[in-house]
Every structure is written in C-alpha cells, then in structure tokens.
Chain A
Amino acid sequence: DQQVKQNSPSLSVQEGRISILNCDYTNSMFDYFLWYKKYPAEGPTFLISISSIKDKNEDGRFTVFLNKSAKHLSLHIVPSQPGDSAVYFCAASDYGQNFVFGPGTRLSVLP
C-alpha cells in the first residue's frame, strides 16, 4: 500500500505558465513533507519542505501548500522554465525519522 501517492505520472506545461504537482498521503503520523527534483543519472535534490504546522511555504518560484484535513499537498512552480523539466518526488516524514517517497511526476516544460 502506497503511503504517499502522486497520481499524475507526467505533466506538460508551457514555459512561463504555472506548474502544479499534486501529492496525497494516507498516514496521519506524517508531520513533515518535502519535494525533491531529479534529473536523469543524478540523485534527487532537495527543493522545498513544509512542516505540518504550516499550510504554505514559499521559496522563490516554488510554493508548497499543505491541506492536512485532506492529506494533500501541492507544489506550485511559477513561472515554469525549461530547466524545471525533471522528475519531482513528494516525500513525507514522521518526526524526521522515516522518509517515504511517492512514485514521482515527470514535468516537461515546453519552450
């Protein structure tokens, strides 16, 4: 059973537009959520995180929103750039101990 789900395997967005990547989780013990970006032949790179005590965290073009009641979070990238094309993993943690990753969403930003 997948504790962290990313139901969209892929997403295509026009350059300059907003990219919205979604993630759902099932374990209510998760209290920290992260997004990682992965380019081919490289390891995942940390992008942004959010604690369960917040509902929004912003870092430049990247914003993560958390809806605890719905057990849902999303990553917004605006404006999207071709260099943002990568696989994005959502991950959840319980008190910084265990990290459970979703299957990833492949984002393609078209010029």
Chain B
Amino acid sequence: EAGVVQSPRYKIIEKKQPVAFWCNPISGHNTLYWYRQNLGQGPELLIRYENEEAVDDSQLPKDRFSAERLKGVDSTLKIQPAELGDSAVYLCASSSWKEVGAGEQYFGPGTRLTVT
C-alpha cells in the first residue's frame, strides 16, 4: 500500500515569493492534516480536513496561508507571500475513521522549505 506522498521534498525560495505544497493521502483516508515542524520542535497542526471540509483551521495564519482539499482527496497548502519565519518542514498526514480514534496518523516525508 502506498504511503502519504508529498511534493516537492525540498523548496528554496526568496522571501515575498509564493510557494505551494502538495499532498496525496493514503487511499480511503478521509482525514487529512497539515503540520508545520520547526527545527527542534514537534509538529504543530495547521489545518485538519474531514473529507473536503476544513474542520479545524484555527492555527492556520490566514493572512498568508491557504489550503484546499478538492474532492476530499489531494490537498494543497499555499503560502503567499512567504516570510523568513516560514522556513520549516511541512508535514502532511492522513487517517481513516476507524483509526482516528486510535490516533494512528500516517505521515508523509514532509517538504523542507527554506526562505532566504
């Protein structure tokens, strides 16, 4: 079974430029999460989707960050414009209904963003 796929794996951009990350969750997983992980810290939730609905985006900086999950499958996270402080690893994770209660989220490898 294929795991969570993320692209690109690495991205270097200049500040004020836009950037987008893509995530393809495990087939059949209806819950999708975007996390940001800063160096030396644990992942911090940005947004959680149940199918195509964003059910928790309270931690998403909405002035520059946006996300979508069309048709409840793939998801895209966008930053526009990027700031130096956005440099981090962006992780996507997914889980199914039966697993979310058990807390078993499957993570992708992440996208390492460097803003210069």
Which residues from chain A sit less than 8 Å from chain B, CB to CB? 4, 9, 32, 34, 36, 41-46, 49, 89, 91, 93, 96-104
For B56, the chain A residues whose CB sits under 8 A away are 97-98
A-B contact pairs, 8 of them (CB 8 A): A4-B42, A34-B104, A41-B109, A43-B4, A43-B91, A46-B104, A49-B103, A97-B56
Chain B's closest residue to A50 (CB) is B103
A4→B93 CA distance, assembly (Å): 20
A44→B107 CA distance, assembly (Å): 6
Closest CB in chain B relative to A9 CB, distance in Å: 8
Q: Which of A42, A99, A100 contacts B109 (CB 8 A)?
A: A42
B window 29-62: CB within 8 A of A: 33, 40-45, 48, 56
Given contacts A102-B42, A104-B42, is CB(A96)–CB(B103) below 8 Å? yes
Determine whether the beta carbon of A44 is less than 8 Å from that of B101: no
For B106, the chain A residues whose CB sits under 8 A away are 46
With an 8 A cutoff between CB atoms, is B102 at the interface?
yes
Determine whether the beta carbon of A99 is less than 8 Å from that of B41: no
For B102, the chain A residues whose CB sits under 8 A away are 32, 49, 96
Chain B's closest residue to A44 (CB) is B107
B window 90-116: CB within 8 A of A: 91, 93, 100-110
For A102, the chain B residues whose CB sits under 8 A away are 42
6 closest A-B pairs by CB = A43-B107, A101-B42, A96-B101, A34-B103, A46-B104, A96-B100
